[in-house]
Amino acid sequence: MSQQTAYRTHHATDVTEVLVGEHVTLAGWVDRRRDHGGVAFIDLRDNTGLVQVVINEEEMARPLRSEYVIEVDGKVRQRPEGNENDHLATGKVEVVAEKIRVLAKSDALPFQVSTALENESENKLPGEDVRLKYRYLDLRRPAMQRNIKLRSDMMRAARTELDKLGFTEVETPTMIKSTPEGARDFVVPARLVPGSWYALPQSPQLLKQLLMVAGVERYYQFARCYRDEDFRADRQPEFTQLDMEMSFVDQEDVIAMAEQVIKAIWKADGYDIETPIRRIPWQEAMDKYGSDKPDLRFGNELIELTDYFKNTPFRVFQAPYVGAVLFKGGASTPRRQFDAWQDWAKQRGAKGLAYVVFGENGELKGPVAKNLSGEERNGLKEAVGAEDGDAVFFAAGARESSQLLLGAVRVELANRAGLLDPKKFAFCWVVDFPLFKRTDDPDDDDVAVGHSKWTSMHHPFTMPSKDWIDTFDEDPEHAMSDSYDIVCNGNEMGGGSVRIHRDDIQDRVLNVLGITPQEAQDKFGFLLEAFKYGAPPHAGIALGWDRTVALLAGADSIRDVIAFPKAGGGRDPLTGAPAPISDEQRAETGVDYDPEEDED
């Protein structure tokens, strides 16, 4: 990337042996300065990397400090033998400075950003509020530069693939009508219609469906979405999704398309993803992995013991479901660590975490062991596939919550065993979801839309699967939907569904959800109306883009792949947003508009 500008003839990493003997002009930051025998060595950094600048004149070197922005005229030469740096692309050469111009100075930094720190521990980083307050410095760190660049490369890869597949990029509006997506809307007062508000979209769901009715056929967009939720780690009030919708397709078509796009995205960072990606029915994911987003980088599936304990004398195991997860080599775990597991389970809302230990001598130990019958004790090792020296954790109770607990244990065990390699990517589709779930589902972080005991597993616009189209409203508990989630390394990377495109089916789904025709009319009457004018069958999928980038980047937090994320509570330590507004601004918003006053 040699882009000559007013300030440079070359970028740092253009300076290799082919330029030896040539004059170059470079521009960038002083990454590091070392002085040795009256000579100053500067690592000059630009967005391609580093090159060493040698300054023989003391006067020229004197003013230069870390993070000064400089322009350097100089001559490229081979480094003296023995001084080469194999870690640098430019490590065989150096630039002997002839003229240096300081373009901007820098105060002492609140924390160091030098490339030299790259291979050291990042533990020296300050707390997140300081990183965000000085985000423009935090982003100078090579790890962050890579994340920002990778995000852009991934977007390009996705777009290029979607273009090949005949997709049209369409921008949908940000200021829309509040739609029933389940979470809380951010709202914007409409000055020109006092007392009225826009909502920021939780997703472009209804708009992209309208684009299908409009005949666009294949739409995509990197869509900004907004949810006003209480702060949780790794949630952002605004986030990006890669939103795709297609007409005249079924679930298979969308999955095939999405696999091509995901393959292209991973390819942008050099990874070859094998397709077709394995599919796991939702029930199997729950049974085997205790999760609707199973981490398949390791095995250790859940073991169901409901049958095994069907005549147990142990009251705790006299439950609708009993399951276990093996703790390989866990027998040597000290008692206080098992106690810590109890606390861990309680923090997740469980009562505790039963376990037994298979001693080296075949002895069964642990608080639960004595409660089991002799037969149960004798057969347990075989039933769970353990060996002497292993331990096993149990959960008993309602099927779903017990499985979720065991699923979390399974992942935490793998985590502690160092099995969660961020550079290994295990994908799967989770398919065959129920159409509805109970509104009292304790795992549900969405708000129920209607006033029924049923809410949508995905959203109210999801098509019942073919077998259930006629009967889903008679048996909402068992009805299945045409929906699918794409999961990577235990993260839900995205999901989608075949959408309802007929108003009669949509009416019946809304009815199950307890949404009255009047409410439906108020909230999305325009969609129901659109369905009267020839809506094609359509389906789509959206990838949570921040999460997708974080996965490929190997970042711990989505905040590390967003240029300017918010801190907890939606605060921005950099700009101080949100902030009070002036009385004049407030008056203009119209939020204090009183229609009765107006009538006088």
Kindly state the smallest distance separating residue 230's Cβ from its own copies, in Å: 7
Q: Which is nearer to its own copies, 122 or 252 (CB)?
A: 252
| 195 is annotated as contributing to ligand binding | no
- Segment 175 to 234, residues that bind its own copies, using CB under 8 A: 175-178, 184-193, 195-200, 206-207, 210-211, 213-218, 222, 224, 226, 228, 230-231
User: End-to-end distance of the chain based on CA atoms, in angstroms?
Assistant: 68
Quick one: how far is CA 30 from the chain centroid? 34
- Segment 249 to 268, residues that bind its own copies, using CB under 8 A: 249-250, 252-253
Q: Which is nearer to its own copies, 114 or 401 (CB)?
A: 114
Nearest Cα residue to 42 out of 116, 117, 146: 116
Kindly state the smallest distance separating residue 558's Cβ from its own copies, in Å: 12
Give the length of the chain: 600
DSSP assignments along 113-148, one per residue: --GGGTTS-GGGS--HHHHHHTHHHHTTSHHHHHHH
| 445 is annotated as contributing to ligand binding | no
| 599 is annotated as contributing to ligand binding | no
- Segment 16 to 55, residues that bind its own copies, using CB under 8 A: 27-29, 45-47
Q: Which of 14, 43, 67, 482 binds its own copies (CB under 8 A)?
A: 67
Q: Distance between CA atoms of 289 and 299, rounded to whole angstroms? A: 9
Q: Distance between CA atoms of 66 and 113, rounded to whole angstroms? A: 10
- Segment 378 to 417, residues that bind its own copies, using CB under 8 A: none
Bridge partner list, 354: 394
Q: Distance between CA atoms of 413 and 28, rounded to whole angstroms? A: 46
Query: Within 13 Å of residue 287, how many CA atoms lie on the same side as its CB?
Result: 8
* Beta-strand pair 69-78/93-104: antiparallel
Q: Which is nearer to its own copies, 106 or 306 (CB)?
A: 106
| 228 is annotated as contributing to ligand binding | yes
212, 535 contact by CB (below 8 A): yes
| 547 is annotated as contributing to ligand binding | yes
Q: Which is nearer to its own copies, 147 or 312 (CB)?
A: 147
Kindly state the smallest distance separating residue 527's Cβ from its own copies, in Å: 9
393 class by beta-carbon count within 10 Å (0-12 exposed, 13-18 middle, 19+ buried): buried
Q: Distance between CA atoms of 515 and 520, rounded to whole angstroms? A: 6
Long-range contacts, 380-387 (Cβ 8 Å, 24+): 380/356, 383/303, 383/305, 383/308, 384/303, 384/305, 384/324, 384/326, 385/303, 385/326, 386/326, 386/358, 387/358
Q: Which is nearer to its own copies, 178 or 333 (CB)?
A: 178
Kindly state the smallest distance separating residue 224's Cβ from its own copies, in Å: 6
Q: Which is nearer to its own copies, 82 or 580 (CB)?
A: 580
- Segment 100 to 139, residues that bind its own copies, using CB under 8 A: 103-107, 109, 134-139
- Segment 270 to 299, residues that bind its own copies, using CB under 8 A: none
Cβ partners under 8 Å of residue 542, min gap 6: 203, 223, 241, 242, 243, 244, 494, 495, 496
For 309, the token pair is 């304990």
Q: Distance between CA atoms of 452 and 475, rounded to whole angstroms? A: 14
Q: Which is nearer to its own copies, 359 or 537 (CB)?
A: 537
Other CB atoms within a 10 A radius of the CB of residue 65 amount to 14
Q: Which is nearer to its own copies, 329 or 568 (CB)?
A: 568
Kindly state the smallest distance separating residue 322's Cβ from its own copies, in Å: 41
Q: Which is nearer to its own copies, 124 or 335 (CB)?
A: 124
Interface stretch with its own copies, choices 284-292, 354-362, 423-431, 557-565 (CB under 8 A): 557-565
Q: Build a one-symbol-per-residue string for 497-536: x at contacts with its own copies by CB under 8 A, - elsewhere.
A: ----xx-----------------------x---xxxxxxx
Tracing tokens 């017990």 back to the chain, one arrives at 402
555 scored as a contact of its own copies (CB under 8 A) = no
Bridge partner list, 26: 72
| 181 is annotated as contributing to ligand binding | yes
Kindly state the smallest distance separating residue 126's Cβ from its own copies, in Å: 15
| 544 is annotated as contributing to ligand binding | yes
507, 514 contact by CB (below 8 A): no
Q: Distance between CA atoms of 37 and 313, rounded to whole angstroms? A: 82
Interface stretch with its own copies, choices 349-357, 408-416, 455-463, 587-595 (CB under 8 A): 587-595
DSSP 448: P
Kindly state the smallest distance separating residue 356's Cβ from its own copies, in Å: 45
Q: Which of 56, 152, 311, 557 binds its own copies (CB under 8 A)?
A: 152
Q: Which is nearer to its own copies, 11 or 288 (CB)?
A: 11
455 class by beta-carbon count within 10 Å (0-12 exposed, 13-18 middle, 19+ buried): buried
Q: Which of 84, 238, 287, 301 binds its own copies (CB under 8 A)?
A: 238
* Beta-strand pair 491-498/168-169: unpaired
Kindly state the smallest distance separating residue 135's Cβ from its own copies, in Å: 7
Applying CB under 8 A, what is the total number of residues that bind its own copies? 123
Q: Distance between CA atoms of 42 and 74, rounded to whole angstroms? A: 13
Annotated binding site: 181, 227-229, 236, 458, 492, 499, 544-547
Annotated binding site for L-aspartate: 181, 227, 458, 499
Annotated binding site for ATP: 227-229, 236, 492, 544-547
